[in-house]
Structure 1
Amino acid sequence: MARIGQIMYLHKDAYDEYQKRHSELWPEMKQALKEHGASNYSIFLNKDNGELFAYLEVPDVDKYNEIANTEICKKWWAYMEPLMDTNADNSPVATDLTEVFHLD
Structure 2
Amino acid sequence: MSHHSTQPRRFGSVVRVRAERWDEYRKLHEAVWPELLVLFQIYGVRNFTIYHYEHLLFSYKEYVGKHYEGDMARLAEEPLMRRWLELTDPCQLPLSSSSGSLWADMQEIFHMDGRAKGD
With structure 1 as the length reference, what TM-score do the two structures score?
0.83
Alignment partners' CA distance in 2, 1:35 and 1:103:
26
* Residue number in structure 2 paired with 1:59: 64
Gap regions ≥5 residues in structure 2: 1-7, 95-100, 114-119
C-alpha offsets along residues 51-89 of structure 1, whole Å, 9 cap, x if unaligned? 100001111223541311211111111111331126xxx
* Residue number in structure 2 paired with 1:89: none
| Segments of 4+ moved more than 6 angstroms | none
Alignment partners' CA distance in 2, 1:85 and 1:26:
23
For this pair of structures, how many residues does the alignment match?
Answer: 98
C-alpha offsets along residues 9-29 of structure 1, whole Å, 9 cap, x if unaligned? 210122222111011111221
**Of 9, 13, 16, the match for 1:6:** 13
Gap regions ≥5 residues in structure 1: 87-91
After superposition, where does 1:8-87 map in structure 2 within 5 Å?
8-47=15-54, 50-60=55-65, 61-65=68-72, 66-85=74-93
* Residue number in structure 2 paired with 1:102: 111
Q: Which has the larger radius of gyration?
A: 2
| Sequence identity percentage | 26
With structure 2 as the length reference, what TM-score do the two structures score?
0.73
Alignment partners' CA distance in 2, 1:73 and 1:85:
19
More helix by share: 1
C-alpha offsets along residues 24-56 of structure 1, whole Å, 9 cap, x if unaligned? 111221111111111111101112xx1100001
